[in-house]
């Protein structure tokens, strides 16, 4: 399939105006150039479009949107294109303009005293982390795609990641936004205040809206003091029922210094060791469950690192005695920290390399995590004997990536025929437990049907009213969310 549509006379006129506006390199039309933008990160969707535009400034974004609004041409905004629900690629009609924010990558200002940084939407997340570090500050948003995802996309999907337990979702890290509205006007909400009670907090309309209400072009994000000490440990936990109690005990013992708490199943560790050369098991004990935990604390008085390590060692000793953990590997240096985190970060890829997989990004109340994993596993194993459940992730905030892998020998294509059925079993259970079928990945194209199926009627009505008020012509990222 060609990924760039043949333009109609109206579209050709629009292309000419866009090329005049953005200059050489600002508009891509050759399929070899546009194809990567139209291909979904998970290879679930391949779209088509009139062109890809690459503005360098908010003013250029505004001008592009005005031209498209006048021509009634839909716009699909895109950051790093690392989303997992098909939200950043157009459909295959070929009528849309894809607007890439990758060239808008400036850090406009840094205010270490105020604890804020004003950044453009195309800034790569890891670059923001590095810039904060150079200013002796911390920008805590951290996820597997941080080397290529962009902050505009993080904001538009309200990304989660491994630091949610201590710092919250992206929504909690944003103080202000700059947004180009569907008619091309620019809303300047770049507020750097912690307190501002002057009416509706409009930024929250755009955070998590997946580009369906406007295009985020810049943001004021929060910075935090850099931890003076940090400890990372990999623990063997035989009983799933003990996992959440382990978290609560760790928070109490550390003075609420737990900033990451990641569940890893034995199957996950086995597949990582199988498919990633150079990886090794941190502990010799074979057990159904493992937990990767990180504590961080401020500098404090005396030697903060020694104090934190002593507190963690004391905690681990107590958990050994109670039988909650049966083995542990405490990282001794930064190299070992990276080795432990790699085991967690490559879990999704290890599952993909093993064969057919179906992924569920769900959440339930923290107190019901173990119950959900047990009940969900039993339901799916009863429906498909031999299916390999693969629950992992940020269980400290109730978010479980309840993924499943094909039975040995079934084959990817045959397994994926059961996608909708296995989704329904899993999501029915999640919703019956007061949970969410989309914890951190968003809705995009992949979960529109699920939102329509499970969404509250009033919720959906209000969302449609907001969409109609801001984007009456339905040109902003059409076919996504609603």
- End-to-end, the C-alpha distance of the chain in Å comes to 26
Q: Tell me the CA distances in angstroms from 100 to 27, 57, 150, one per residue in order.
A: 10, 11, 11
Q: Which candidate, 227, 223, 226, 225, places its Cα nearest to that of 115?
A: 223
Which run of H or E residues covers position 400?
A: strand 399-405
**Confidence at residue 303, expressed as pLDDT on a 0 to 100 scale:** 81
Report residue 248 as tokens: 């609560």
Which run of H or E residues covers position 143?
A: none
Report whether pLDDT(462) > 80.
yes
Q: Tell me the CA distances in angstroms from 184 to 100, 224, 470, one per residue in order.
A: 16, 34, 11
**Confidence at residue 1, expressed as pLDDT on a 0 to 100 scale:** 43
The Cα–Cα gap between 184 and 76 comes to 14
The Cα–Cα gap between 79 and 338 comes to 27
Q: For the chain, what is the mean pLDDT? A: 95
Report whether pLDDT(409) > 50.
yes
pLDDT digits (tens, 9 = 90+) for 371-385: 999 999 999 999 999
pLDDT digits (tens, 9 = 90+) for 173-215: 999 999 999 999 999 999 999 999 999 999 999 999 999 999 9
Q: What percent of the chain has pLDDT over 90?
A: 93
Which run of H or E residues covers position 112?
A: none
Q: What is the mean predicted confidence (pLDDT) over 24-53?
A: 94
Report whether pLDDT(58) > 80.
yes
pLDDT digits (tens, 9 = 90+) for 344-362: 999 999 999 999 999 999 9
Confidence of residue 305 (pLDDT cuts 50, 70, 90): confident
How many C-beta atoms surround the C-beta of residue 356 within 10 A? 20
Give the DSSP letter of residue 387. Answer: -
**Confidence at residue 110, expressed as pLDDT on a 0 to 100 scale:** 97
Domains of the chain: 9-100 (3.30.43.10), 107-225 (3.30.465.10), 229-347 (3.30.70.2190), 355-441 (3.30.70.2740)
Higher pLDDT, 1 or 379: 379
Residue with tokens 């799933």: 240
pLDDT digits (tens, 9 = 90+) for 215-272: 999 999 999 999 989 999 999 999 999 999 999 999 999 999 999 999 999 999 999 9
Q: Tell me the CA distances in angstroms from 444 to 159, 171, 233, one per residue in order.
A: 13, 18, 35
Q: What is the mean predicted confidence (pLDDT) over 458-462?
A: 97
Report whether pLDDT(7) > 80.
no
Confidence of residue 297 (pLDDT cuts 50, 70, 90): confident
Confidence of residue 3 (pLDDT cuts 50, 70, 90): low
Could you tell me if 132 and 146 are in contact, meaning their C-beta atoms sit under 8 angstroms apart? no
pTM of the model: 0.93
The Cα–Cα gap between 149 and 155 comes to 11
Report whether pLDDT(300) > 80.
no
Confidence of residue 41 (pLDDT cuts 50, 70, 90): confident
**Confidence at residue 291, expressed as pLDDT on a 0 to 100 scale:** 98
């Amino acid at each position: 399939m060609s990924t760039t549509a043949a333009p109609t006379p109206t579209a050709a006129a629009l292309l000419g105006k866009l090329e005049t506006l953005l200059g050489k390199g600002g508009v891509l039309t050759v399929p070899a150039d546009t194809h990567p933008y139209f291909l979904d990160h998970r290879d679930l969707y391949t779209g088509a479009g009139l062109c890809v535009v690459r503005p360098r400034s908010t003013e250029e974004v505004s001008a592009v949107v005005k031209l498209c609004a006048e021509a009634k041409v839909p716009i699909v905004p895109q950051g790093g294109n690392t989303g997992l629900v098909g939200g950043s690629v157009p459909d295959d009609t070929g009528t849309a303009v894809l607007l890439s924010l990758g060239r808008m990558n400036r850090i406009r200002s840094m205010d270490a005293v105020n604890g804020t940084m004003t950044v453009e939407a195309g800034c790569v997340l890891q670059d923001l982390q590095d810039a904060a570090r150079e200013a002796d500050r911390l920008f805590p948003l951290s996820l597997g795609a941080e080397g290529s995802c962009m902050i505009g996309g993080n904001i538009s999907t309200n990304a989660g990641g491994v630091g949610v337990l201590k710092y919250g979702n992206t929504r909690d890290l944003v103080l202000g936004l700059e947004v180009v509205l569907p008619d091309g006007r620019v809303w300047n909400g770049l507020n750097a205040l912690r307190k501002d009670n002057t009416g509706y907090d409009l930024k929250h309309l755009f955070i998590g809206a997946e580009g369906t209400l406007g295009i985020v072009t810049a943001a004021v994000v929060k910075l935090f003091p850099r931890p003076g000490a940090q400890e990372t440990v990999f623990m063997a936990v035989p009983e799933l029922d003990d996992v959440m109690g382990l978290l609560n005990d760790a928070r109490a013992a550390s003075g609420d210094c737990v900033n990451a708490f990641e569940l890893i199943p034995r199957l996950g560790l086995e597949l990582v060791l199988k498919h990633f050369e150079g990886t090794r098991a941190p502990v010799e004990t074979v057990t159904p469950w493992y937990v990767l935990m990180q504590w961080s604390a401020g500098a404090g008085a005396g030697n903060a690192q020694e104090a934190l390590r002593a507190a963690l060692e004391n905690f681990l000793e107590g958990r050994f005695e109670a039988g909650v953990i049966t083995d542990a590997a405490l990282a001794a240096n930064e190299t070992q920290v990276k080795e432990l985190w790699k085991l967690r970060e490559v879990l999704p890829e290890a599952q993909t390399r093993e064969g057919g997989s179906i992924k569920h990004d769900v959440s339930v109340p923290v107190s019901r995590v173990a119950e959900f994993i047990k009940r969900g596993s039993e339901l799916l194993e009863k429906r498909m004997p031999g299916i390999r459940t693969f629950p992992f992730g940020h269980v400290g905030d109730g978010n479980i990536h309840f993924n499943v892998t094909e039975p040995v020998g079934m084959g990817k294509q045959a397994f994926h025929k059961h996608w909708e059925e296995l989704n329904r079993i899993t999501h029915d259970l999640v919703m019956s437990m007061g949970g969410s079928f989309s914890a951190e990945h968003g809705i995009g194209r992949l979960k529109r049907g699920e939102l329509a199926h499970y969404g509250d009627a009033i919720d959906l009505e209000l969302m449609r009213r907001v969409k109609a008020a801001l984007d009456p012509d339905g040109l902003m990222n059409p076919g996504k969310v609603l």
